[in-house]
Amino acid sequence: MYPTNASAPETQLRELLESRAEVVRARHIEGVLTSLARQRHLRHAASGAMARHAEVQAIVGADLRPLPTRRGIFEITEMDIAASGDLAYGCGLLKAGTEVDSFPVRLTGVPAPYRRRVDDRAPTSIRRECLAGLFIIFDDRPSDSPFVERVWRCHSERAGRFLSVASSHWEMVVTR
């Protein structure tokens, strides 16, 4: 168990976990708790790259293998993909060997083949821009209504730019 910061008692940590539990879809609550403890500790004790790595691990719920350069660039392994389900990184795709320098973003609700085709066509500059510092947590669900394809919600933790994929559906969106 990694040490927690003295100002972060167990109750606060559990509240943080519960607030994210639906997002991370944690299978092993104690494992995520450990990751969050490590994340909190590193936020105070380590520089940005290490803290970002810990946060990615906490959200994905799996160990990411840092590259030797330790510049905040992380390589995704097959194991990470299996553990993270439908998590995608930035506007990129989860592929073994992919290097990412940002936080994960859920891109569910868009058929994977279509998403892949759009992303592959996007200019490299846009893809790189989309990978820079944006953090959106996305959640969605199917619907049994004959009128509704899916219901989704998301929130951003910081400002940035993302790639909105093409879609043949229209939507009603509420924001605040």
Partner 1 sequence: MRGPETNATAIDCPAEGEWLGIRFRLGTFMPQLPIVNLIDRKDVASPRATGRSFWLNGSAWEYPNFENAETLVARLVQGSVIARDSAVW
Maximum distance among all Cα pairs of the chain, rounded to whole angstroms: 52
102 close to 89: Cβ distance less than 8 angstroms: yes
Stretch that binds partner 1, among 50-58, 68-76, 77-85, 168-176 (CB under 8 A): 168-176
Q: How far is the CB of 133 from partner 1 (least distance, A)?
A: 11
Nearest CB to partner 1, comparing residues 50 and 118: 118
String of DSSP letters for 45-83: HS-HHHHHHHHHHHHHTS--EE-TT-SS-EE--HHHHHH
Which residue has 């066509």 as its token pair?
Answer: 121
Q: How far is the CB of 18 from partner 1 (least distance, A)?
A: 16
The candidate with the shortest Cα–Cα distance to 91, out of 70, 66, 61, 116, is 116
32 close to 54: Cβ distance less than 8 angstroms: no
Among 1, 11, 97, 174, binds partner 1 (CB under 8 A): 174
Site string for partner 1, 103-142 (x = CB under 8 A): ------x--------xx-xx---x--xx---x-x--x-x-
Map the footprint of partner 1 across residues 147-166, applying CB under 8 A.
Answer: 147-166
Q: How far is the CB of 105 from partner 1 (least distance, A)?
A: 10
Q: How far is the CB of 120 from partner 1 (least distance, A)?
A: 11
CB-side neighbour CA atoms (13 Å) of 76: 24
What span, in angstroms and rounded, lies between the C-alpha atoms of 55 and 39? 6
Q: How far is the CB of 4 from partner 1 (least distance, A)?
A: 25
Positions that interact with partner 1 (CB under 8 A): 109, 118-119, 121-122, 126, 129-130, 134, 136, 139, 141, 143-176
